[in-house]
Amino acid sequence: MVTHSSKTKARNYFGTDGIRGKVGVWPINAEFILKLGWAVGKVLARQGYGKVLIGKDTRISGYMFESVLEAGLSSAGIDIHLLGPMPTPAIAYLTRTLRASAGIVISASHNPYYDNGIKFFSASGTKLPDEVEAEIEAQLEQTMTTVDSAHLGKAVRVVDAPGRYIEFCKSTVSSETNLNGLKIVVDCANGAAYHIAPNVLRELGADVVEIGVEPNGLNINLNCGATHPATLQKQVLEEKADLGIALDGDGDRVMMVDHEGHLLDGDELIYIIAKHRKEQGTLKGGVVGTVMSNMGLEHALQNLEIPFVRVAVGDRHIIAELKRRQWCFGAEPSGHVICSDAVTTGDGIITALQVLSAMRSKNQSLAEIKSGLHKYPQVLVNVKVPAICDLTTKPRIQAALKTIEKKLGNSGRVLLRCSGTEPLIRVMVEGEDAKEINQLAHQLAAVVEEEFTL
């Protein structure tokens, strides 16, 4: 199976999740982001006057991009409300509640500090519609101008943004839910949630041990957070904590660790949430996963008579499918979990709270409440390639793929897909026998590599 995004190909700047790249390398430089702010402002001005929120994570380049976006928007006559460091989902929430025309997030999510990116939320807190992105791209081709001085946009700082969001997070679980007696280690990845997540947990009664809460602009996601959970696993065992929570740099994905140090990814977290909602009688529809979701999740949900469907990788695709089916829950193994009855995008803090609420309701530990899901061994191999191409036009690769699929039969899966952000072919093989699938994954990866070196 190969997935492609025609939407990405049709865009000069926007990818599947905004614009992202290395700082200083076009288009992630001050000159382009200045004009991007202006272009967004011009498009919004045509739709009627309104303010725009700007939030960011903790990477050092955020200061620069915040300033130039502010200047660009102001030159188009748009007022700006600056939120400072805030999780991506918080910006989506505040865009709605502060009645802004749009929200802008300056973040490269789980990437290292030397990357950055810009993504947008509509007035309703969802990703921008394709037609608005297209209009912004068209505006970028025009010469930048400045409105009359009397009509320049003004900028103010929203000083109570963290408090507003903390209260919202707590409101997503029952008022009877408390975390009294739970010792929780929370790793904020030296990112945008460093001043939010520990306070949410403390205010709900938990004994909180916090790590990854000393951002210096360069240490975001550095050997910590959801992309490097070993740090949290070690700390949970050392502290003899009940569990651990790891967020990524912008707070939209989460991993959790039980008291034995075992890691729970997005598949396991959505299983816990969906299972609990099913037991409560409040589950609407089923669960949306991706082509990367483990077969074990699919089978566990089937055993609970919960419908499950797969879409292409990316939370954008999950959200679109949830909306189409009028369901509420979806997830990627990477920790993007969507609880659309509470929020419009992935939210690491709120996902963790849903899991904690289920634990408290059933009076079970994290290790106990995940029972019923048995994940299949899964091997992922990345193959660097000179350029991405349509793999269906490569006969040798397709022949090797079919051979492995036939060998696995109904007891496994094989997936070939192109990375949406890097020149990589991702090879994934899943099955019952760990040794066999490891061999098959590297066998297929070798064929892919040979094909691109011929």
For the segment 132-166, what is each residue's pLDDT rounded down to a tens digit?
Answer: 999 999 999 999 999 999 999 999 999 999 999 99
pLDDT at 2 over 60: no
- Same domain? For 45 and 137 the reply is yes
- Same domain? For 194 and 320 the reply is no
Q: How far apart are CA 68 and CA 26, in angstroms?
A: 15
pLDDT for the residue 94 = 98
For the segment 246-273, what is each residue's pLDDT rounded down to a tens digit?
Answer: 999 999 999 999 999 999 999 999 999 9
Rounded mean pLDDT, 85-95: 98
Q: For residue 1, give Cα distances in angstroms to 47, 312, 453.
A: 41, 10, 22
Average of per-residue pLDDT values in the chain: 94
- Same domain? For 221 and 368 the reply is no
Q: Which of 75, 101, 109, 340 is catalytic?
A: 109
- Same domain? For 109 and 149 the reply is yes
**Domain-located, residue 167:** no
Asked if residue 348 lies in contact with residue 251, where contact means CB atoms within 8 angstroms, the answer is yes
Q: CATH number of the domain that 416 lies in?
A: 3.30.310.50
Q: CATH number of the domain that 75 lies in?
A: 3.40.120.10
For the segment 290-325, what is each residue's pLDDT rounded down to a tens digit?
Answer: 999 999 999 999 999 999 999 998 888 999 999 999
- Same domain? For 236 and 329 the reply is no
Write down the H helix ranges in 282-431. 295-303, 315-325, 348-362, 366-369, 395-408
The Cα angle at residue 220 between residues 216 and 221, in degrees rounded to 5: 155
**Domain-located, residue 290:** yes
- Same domain? For 13 and 117 the reply is yes
**Domain-located, residue 150:** yes
| Number of compact structural domains in the chain | 4
* Residue whose entry in the numeric block shows the structure tokens 């699938």: 437
Please confirm, yes or no, whether 5 is among the known catalytic residues.
Answer: no
Residue 152: which residues within 8 A CB-CB, separation 6 or more? 74, 75, 77, 146
The residue that leads in pLDDT, 380 or 7, is 380
Q: How far apart are CA 376 and CA 83, in angstroms?
A: 42
